[in-house]
């Protein structure tokens, strides 16, 4: 963990050298985390980078090769123990890899009772939430699920008025957010109890939302919802409790280099926003306060990164 040391002088933050007689305070900065990204380009892989990475960074690990069975890694999630979950879009498979896996390694578990999985999320108890695009529902699996496991629960989105399903995410207030790419719609459910064909707690939908093709979603520590929309090339931010035909609290675009085809979002423990662009093979990093056209604080891009049509995105 990195420590940043500052001094308090008459209520103003200044450098230590300028304040020899004042008391000092040590602030603990959150440790760097790991970015996980699924590449759906010619080289199918799951790569990791430090959240401190920038520029033409070399990945820390790369899962790739025949033993991995990684072929279409459009959804990525990581649980509290560091196990990596990979959704094989277009195939009835979710692969689970051991923490720190790299190279041509086989998954430790494979879940096959899905149709065409896309978005993934894991809660604090280890339950896995799967946006099954082929079945147009959310499947919830218990910890350790493997093979043709029967889901603990299945959540239909029909009562929400949605006709498709793409990505999903969880917040720390107990909510499950489910997005419909073609429906331009986000339904919110109680994550712990939703089952069957429930009426959602909230429906974010309508012209005022600005949503066109919502895809990758994530939430921050304040339970703000961040939605990558590849139809508008914007990230829309909605506050906790947003409902109906409501405008986002803010939208974020890149003032340069521009977004071309954004698909995923993730938030780190410092509140920074990460957005991947599978056209330019770039991961953008924005500060917590980003709004409107904003210059990224960092970009991970270049031949050395190995990024190739990046889709799935997660931080742990």
Say if CB 140 and CB 152 are below 8 A apart.
Answer: yes
Say if CB 141 and CB 130 are below 8 A apart.
Answer: yes
C-alpha dihedral sign at 290, 293, 295, 296: positive
Phi, psi of 174 (to 5 degrees): 90, 20
Residues 188 and 88 grouped into a single domain:
yes
SS3 assignment, position 219:
strand
In this prediction, residue 27 carries a pLDDT of 58
As given in the structure block, the two tokens for residue 188 are 């919110």
List, for residues 41-84, the tens digit of each pLDDT value. 998 999 999 999 999 999 999 999 999 999 999 999 999 999 99
Q: pTM for this one?
A: 0.91
Residues 43 and 122 grouped into a single domain:
yes
d(CA 186, CA 248) in angstroms, rounded, equals: 12
Residues 16 and 85 grouped into a single domain:
no
Residues 112 and 158 grouped into a single domain:
yes
In this prediction, residue 18 carries a pLDDT of 31
User: Cis before residue 279, ω within 30 degrees of 0?
Assistant: no
Q: Give the residue among 142, 143, 173, 140 at the shortest CA–CA distance from 156.
A: 140
Can you give the CATH number for the domain in which 66 is found? 2.120.10.30
Q: Give the residue among 20, 103, 18 at the shortest CA–CA distance from 59.
A: 103
Say if CB 303 and CB 291 are below 8 A apart.
Answer: no
Residues 7 and 134 grouped into a single domain:
no
Residues of the chain with pLDDT under 70: 1-27
Distance of CA 18 to the CA centre of its chain: 42
Residues 160 and 47 grouped into a single domain:
yes
Residues 147 and 252 grouped into a single domain:
yes
Residues 58 and 76 grouped into a single domain:
yes
Say if CB 151 and CB 142 are below 8 A apart.
Answer: no
Domain count for the chain, please give it.
Answer: 2
Residue 147 CB burial class (10 angstroms; 0-12, 13-18, ≥19): exposed
Q: Which residue range(s) make up the domain with 46?
A: 32-315
As given in the structure block, the two tokens for residue 248 are 């986002």
Residues 19 and 46 grouped into a single domain:
no
Residues 174 and 307 grouped into a single domain:
yes
Residues 13 and 123 grouped into a single domain:
no
Residues 102 and 184 grouped into a single domain:
yes
SS3 assignment, position 96:
strand
């Amino acid at each position: 963990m990195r420590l940043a040391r500052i001094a308090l002088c008459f209520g103003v933050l200044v450098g230590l050298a300028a304040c020899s007689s004042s008391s000092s305070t040590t602030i603990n900065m959150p440790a760097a985390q790991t970015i996980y990204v699924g590449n759906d380009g010619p080289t199918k892989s799951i790569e990791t980078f430090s959240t401190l990475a920038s520029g033409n960074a070399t990945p820390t690990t790369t899962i790739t090769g025949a033993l991995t069975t990684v072929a279409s890694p459009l959804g990525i999630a990581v649980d509290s123990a560091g196990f990596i979950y990979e959704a094989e879009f277009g195939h009835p498979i979710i692969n689970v890899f051991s923490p720190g896996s790299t190279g041509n390694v086989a998954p430790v578990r494979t879940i096959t009772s899905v149709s065409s999985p896309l978005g993934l999320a894991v809660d604090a108890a280890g339950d896995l939430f799967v946006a099954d695009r082929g079945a147009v529902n959310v499947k919830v699996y218990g910890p350790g699920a493997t093979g043709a496991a029967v889901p603990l629960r299945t959540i239909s989105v029909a009562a929400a008025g949605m006709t498709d399903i793409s990505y999903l995410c969880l917040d720390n207030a107990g909510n499950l957010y489910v997005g419909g790419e073609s429906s331009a719609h986000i339904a919110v459910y109680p994550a712990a109890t939703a089952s069957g064909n429930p009426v959602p707690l909230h429906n974010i939908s309508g012209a005022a939302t600005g949503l066109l093709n919502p895809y990758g979603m994530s939430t921050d520590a304040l339970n703000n919802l961040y939605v990558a929309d590849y139809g508008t090339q914007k990230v829309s931010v909605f506050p906790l409790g947003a409902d109906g035909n409501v405008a986002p609290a803010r939208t974020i675009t890149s003032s340069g280099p521009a977004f071309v085809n954004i698909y995923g979002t993730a938030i780190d423990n410092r509140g920074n926003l990460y957005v991947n662009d599978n056209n330019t093979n770039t991961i953008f990093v924005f500060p917590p306060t980003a709004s409107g056209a904003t210059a990224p604080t960092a970009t991970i891009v270049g031949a050395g990164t190995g990024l190739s049509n990046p889709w799935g995105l997660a931080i742990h």
